[in-house]
Amino acid sequence: MHAHHTRPSTRQSNSRVYGDHLRSRPAVNKARRRRAPFQVLVYPYRVAADADPEVALFRRVDGGYWQGIAGGGDEGETPEDAARRETLEEAGIQPAGPWIALKPVLSVPVNVIRPDARRHWPGWLTTIPCHPFAVLVAHSAVRLSGEHSEFRWARLDEARTLVHWDTDRIALAALETSLHSHPG
C-alpha cells in the first residue's frame, strides 16, 4: 500500500507537512518575477531497500489531475535553478542526491500557460521547452503548496497510469530508463 495524503481542510495554514519534518512555506513574491518561456517538470523519487523506486505525484487543485511538480522558469534562471525553486516552493522537498536532467527535453503548448504569465512573450510562440528532472529524496516529508490538494507515492508503472499529461508519462519512462542504466 502506498502513502496517500490529503491537504488539511483549513486553507489558512502556511506550513503543513506530511511525513517526518515540519518546514515553513518559503516567502515568495511571484508578482515581481517575470516568466521565462520554458517549463520544468520534476519527479522526486525514493528507493527503499528491496523495493521498486517510487515517485511523488501531486494532485492539482485547478483540474484535479495527477502530475509531477511543474512550473515555469523565471527570467535569468537556468532550467535546473527553476526545478530546484519549484520543488522547494511546491513541496518543500530537500534533495538527497544529484539532480538528474532527463532526456528528451519536451514541448508544451503555450496556450496551457496562464495568459498573465505569458503576456510579454512573442505572439508567434506556440510551444515552449519543458525540461524534465528527477531528484532522489532521503525521507518522505512533503509540504503541499496551495497549487496541490494532495500527494502520493507510486511505483513508476502505476504513476504512468495515473498522470494526466503525456509529458509526465515520457518523463517517467525516461526516469525508469535512467534508474535501470545507473542503479544505486
- The pLDDT tens digits for 130-177 are 999 999 998 767 889 999 999 999 999 999 999 999 999 999 999 999
Q: What local confidence, expressed as pLDDT, does residue 5 receive?
A: 56
Alpha-carbon gap, residue 171 to 155, rounded angstroms: 14
SS3 157: helix
Which residue in the block uniquely carries the three cell numbers 508567434?
A: 124
Phi and psi of 110, rounded to 5°?
-60, -30
* 11 vs 69 pLDDT, higher one: 69
Read off φ and ψ for residue 115, nearest 5 degrees: -55, -40
Report the distance separating Cα 96 and Cα 30, nearest Å.
27
How many angstroms separate the CA atoms of 140 and 152, rounded?
A: 10
* Low-confidence winner among 9-13, 92-96, 170-174 (lowest mean pLDDT): 9-13
Q: Find the Cα–Cα–Cα–Cα dihedral 100, 104, 109, 115, rounded to 10°.
A: 20
Cell of 77: 534562471
pLDDT confidence of residue 12: 36
Contact 147, 90 (CB under 8 A): yes
Beta-ladder partners of 153:
56
pLDDT in tens, 20-76: 333 334 444 555 678 999 999 999 999 887 788 999 999 999 999 999 999 999 999
In the predicted model, what is the mean pLDDT of the chain?
84
Superfamily of the domain at 16-21+34-181? Nucleoside Triphosphate Pyrophosphohydrolase (3.90.79.10)
The three-state secondary structure class of 130 is strand
Q: What is the pLDDT of residue 183?
A: 58
E-state strands within the chain: 4-6, 35-46, 54-60, 66-67, 69-74, 95-101, 106-109, 127-137, 148-155
Q: Would you state the pLDDT for residue 31? A: 54
Those residues with Cβ within 8 angstroms of residue 1's Cβ, 6 or more apart along the chain or in another chain: none
